[in-house]
Amino acid sequence: MKKFAVIGSPISHSLSPSIHGLFGKLCGIELSYEAIEVDRSSFTEKVMELFKDGYDGINVTLPLKNLAYEVSDHPSNASLKSTSANVIWRQEGKIHSDNTDGEGLVSDLEEKELFIENKKLLMIGAGGSAISILPSLIDRKPKEIKIINRTYSRAIELVEKFKREDVKLSAGNLLDPLSFKAEAIINTTSAGLLKEEISLPAGTFANQDWTYDLSYSNSETLFNSLARRHGIKKTHDGFGMLMQQAALSFEIWTGNKPDIKMATKLLTPNS
């Protein structure tokens, strides 16, 4: 039996055990998958302990993704670009890492026919989630990505970190009115998930084609609800991204690509 886990803090809400358990059944692979509470102070010790105990792979969630990158001996290109990792495994005594968040998001966008090439995107938030997905978004050659964040200096840091000649990156804060007319909005903050008030600049919503909230919920997320109240008709949450990035992790560990559509149907039978 193969052994896997997801680690983070908090972790009790994670759907990863259900998702990977279903992937295993669909692919005919016997496995166990646990959700384990781990904080930053005990991260390295716990990872080494899990690998010593025979775990074949570990998913890593916030706030540990940068530590997962730092502990790896062989980071993938995606990990290198984002300086973070959401999946690690041990091979020939060395820890390997990858970041499937960005490709998971892009795969879900493409599945939903939400193409970003040559588009102007607004990204809300400049934390770990933004860092994880930015390289993959930039690789799809949008016309511009404007990053707005409560701490303006953090948005500037991301612009400097990921700047390229072929894609314009710019920064703003959540206090000033927004004149940037984006064609789509991606929310990377967890404010709505944490039931915090969502405070956005005047002019944020301006007839965008669609919004995408990286958070997901059994009901409409607070961010997408706000977008709908401002007239945005196409709103999406991050459940599809969750499934896509999980499938990529599963394929890295097992060599098997699960049927995401079937898994999604089985997990959300009323959808």
pTM equals 0.94
How do residues 201-230 score in pLDDT, each as one tens digit?
999 999 999 999 999 888 889 999 999 999
For residue 1, give Cα distances in angstroms to 4, 31, 218, 254.
10, 5, 32, 12
**Is 25 an annotated catalytic residue?**
no
Whether the per-residue pLDDT at 243 is higher than 80: the answer is yes
Of 65, 119, 168, 261, which one is the catalytic site residue?
65
Whether the per-residue pLDDT at 193 is higher than 80: the answer is no
Q: What mean pLDDT, rounded, does the chain reach?
A: 94
pLDDT of residue 192: 61
Whether the per-residue pLDDT at 91 is higher than 80: the answer is yes
Contact call for residues 59 and 86 (beta carbons, < 8 A): yes
Q: Residue 120: pLDDT band by 50, 70, 90 thresholds?
A: very high
How do residues 128-176 score in pLDDT, each as one tens digit?
999 999 999 999 999 999 999 999 999 999 999 999 999 999 999 988 8
pLDDT of residue 13: 86
- How far is residue 78's CA from residue 104's CA, in Å, rounded to a whole number? 12
Helices (H), 42-151: 43-52, 65-71, 77-82, 101-111, 128-139
Whether the per-residue pLDDT at 255 is higher than 60: the answer is yes
